Structure 1
Amino acid sequence: MPMAKTRAQNFDALVLEAVENVERVVGDNERFGPKKLGGVEFAVEDVPGEVNAYDTDVLEDRDVPLARLFPGRAGASGPSPRIVVYRRPLELRANGVEELAQLIRSVVVEQVANLLGVRPEEIDPD
């Protein structure tokens, strides 16, 4: 009998699904030109560490960070862009798995749009 998945594993699976959907949309759309998501790292952390809530790369709700974009640096020697999704703040805002999946998708879309310099509606019109 297989072991049941933990809440963290279920959350990771929802993030992976959202990322795969966004990658498919961005990869299939020519309007994004050479700006693709290759090399972008996605990560999940349980809670945010110290962040300045005034940074534009932090997506927050009532002063609680939900996700953060680390844009990376130009050039091969700099770090890759990284989007971090914070599990506990998102879980606390959702009622059920479906609502959590939608919230995760919205957060991932928002951060990818920020990275690519486009409006979220251009990536996910829903």
Structure 2
Amino acid sequence: MPTSVPRYASRRKAFDRAVLEAYAPLYGMYQRELANLDIAVDTIPRMRLSADMSILPDEITADGPVPLGRVIPPAIDTKGNPTRARIVIFRMPIEQRVTNATERHEILTNVLTSLVANYLNIDPRDIDPSFQDF
């Protein structure tokens, strides 16, 4: 759509909307357990990972060595304020792996299922019996 049309959405906004659409069914299933969890989108992973790491930590969902999302547990920030737990989805690594909206929805659903399962400390197959790792 042209940028002058009210329904125009930048690629970033369209991705953010796709993340929320993929997350909604998970939130519906575990609303009480996910009430204190925030969802965020970052353009790229901003983590210090060692190049010799063959296995990434459980809180990171990745396609091979490329992180697609992660769970950040609640903590205390530099000013001493508590922070909420957060799932961060990395936009560019996901966008580079898809060619259309259907593929994007499938990969987002898979990444979010993995991350929500990690946050809830359950197996992703308990959420979606057809879940498959990357």
Equivalent position SS for 2:83: coil
Structure 2 residue 6 is matched with structure 1 residue 2: yes
For 1:85, give the aligned amino acid. I
Structure 2 residue 43 is matched with structure 1 residue 46: yes
* TM score, norm. by length of structure 1: 0.83
Structure 1 runs, 4 residues or longer, greater than 6 Å off: none
Structure 2 residue 89 is matched with structure 1 residue 89: no
- Residues 48 and 65 in structure 1, CA contact (< 8 A), matched pair in contact too: yes
- Percent identity at matched positions? 30
Indicate the RMSD between aligned Cα atoms, in angstroms. Answer: 1.9
Q: Which is higher, the Rg of structure 1 or of structure 2?
A: 2
* TM score, norm. by length of structure 2: 0.78
Structure-1 separation of matches of 2:48 and 2:115: 16
The aligned runs of 1:1-126 (5 Å cut-off) are 1-2=5-6, 4-27=8-31, 36-52=33-49, 54-73=56-75, 78-126=82-130
| More off after superposition, 112-121 vs 49-58 | 49-58
- Residues 26 and 123 in structure 1, CA contact (< 8 A), matched pair in contact too: no
**Paired residues, what number?**
117
For 1:36, give the aligned amino acid. E
- Residues 58 and 118 in structure 2, CA contact (< 8 A), matched pair in contact too: no
Structure-2 separation of matches of 1:3 and 1:18: 20
